[in-house]
Structure 1
Amino acid sequence: MSHTERETKKYTGFSKTEIEEYLSDFKQLVRDGSYSIELNENRTENVDFMEEYDISIEKAKNILLCLDVLDFCYAADNTKPQFAYEKLYVFCREFELDNRGTPEDVDIYIKSNLTRTRKGNKRLFVVSFHKRNNPISYCFK
């Protein structure tokens, strides 16, 4: 762990209603275009995944809009000290994707940060959008 990150605590003590409310805001921000999927040099796994499965921004948007409360896994503290007050929400859902002409069922790991801008507007950042790397458990399955 680098000096700029801290240990992550996982939170699973949510009710279905709390996650449904989170997803309601999440999906509204996606529909409104007030979101971004992090596709930069620090998020090469996201970029590689979207390229490998030929996932357009529109297709990614549709995947995000399909998330359900049953796809919720946990929330975690943001590891960056300047954002320590934020919680990141993790979802995982299986989708059939095209892998160079061959249909493949893929578990997509989605980590999101629903926050407010300096002006007070809600904004959604999808910090992870890639194939699941590790076993995962779900809160409500």
Structure 2
Amino acid sequence: MSEHYNTSYSKEEIAAILQKIQDCVRAGKYTIAQNEKRAQNQALIREYNLRTERQRHILLQIEPEDFCHSLQNTNIGFEHEVLYVFCPQVILFNFHGEEKQVDIYTKFNIIDLDSGSLIVVISFHERNKPMDYLFR
């Protein structure tokens, strides 16, 4: 595991962070990044025909046990942001109707504004590297 990964959280702290994330998802105050730098996100959504409601459902099914680590944002101007990584296991169906258990790598940025919080789901794609879970 990278020395940049932070795993010094209690399960209660992660449950509270996840609650904040999921409250924003329920309120529609979130977005899943799908720009040109997020081709893997686009590929997952396309491969499994994940419409908006299914994406939302996946995000709302994440549990504290799916938490892996947090890390500091390294993008210039955003170094103050903490990113939270969860990797839930979800049953999905591809275009051929084949069922597959997929580990979905999700990375969340919680943006606190005067008007409330907003969630940016930076990563929403198949896991592409080994992951360690903090509470499993």
Please give the TM-score of this superposition, normalised by the length of structure 1.
0.91
Is 1:103–2:112 an aligned residue pair? Answer: no
Report the equivalent of 2:31. 36
CA distance in 1 between partners of 2:120 and 2:23 (Å)? 13
CA distance in 2 between partners of 1:70 and 1:96 (Å)? 17
Report the equivalent of 2:131. 136
CA distance in 2 between partners of 1:37 and 1:49 (Å)? 12
Gaps of at least 5 residues in structure 1 are: 1-6
Q: Secondary structure at the match of 2:45?
A: helix
The question of whether the paired residues in 2 share the 8 Å contact of 1:97 and 1:103 is answered with yes
Task: Give me the identity figure in percent.
Answer: 38
Aligned match for 1:127, one of 99, 122, 127: 122
Q: Which structure 1 residue ranges, 4+ long, deviate > 6 Å from structure 2?
A: none
Report the equivalent of 2:10. 15
AA of the residue aligned to 2:6: Y
CA distance in 1 between partners of 2:116 and 2:3 (Å)? 26
Is 1:25–2:31 an aligned residue pair? Answer: no
What is the CA distance between 1:126 and its match in structure 2? Answer: 0.2
Report the equivalent of 2:53. 58
Please give the TM-score of this superposition, normalised by the length of structure 2.
0.94
AA of the residue aligned to 2:104: I
Residue deviations 1:77-124, cap 9 Å, x none?
10112110111000001111011210111100000001123x452110
AA of the residue aligned to 1:33: G
Gaps of at least 5 residues in structure 2 are: none
CA distance in 1 between partners of 2:13 and 2:135 (Å)? 12
Q: How many residues are treated as equivalent by the alignment?
A: 134
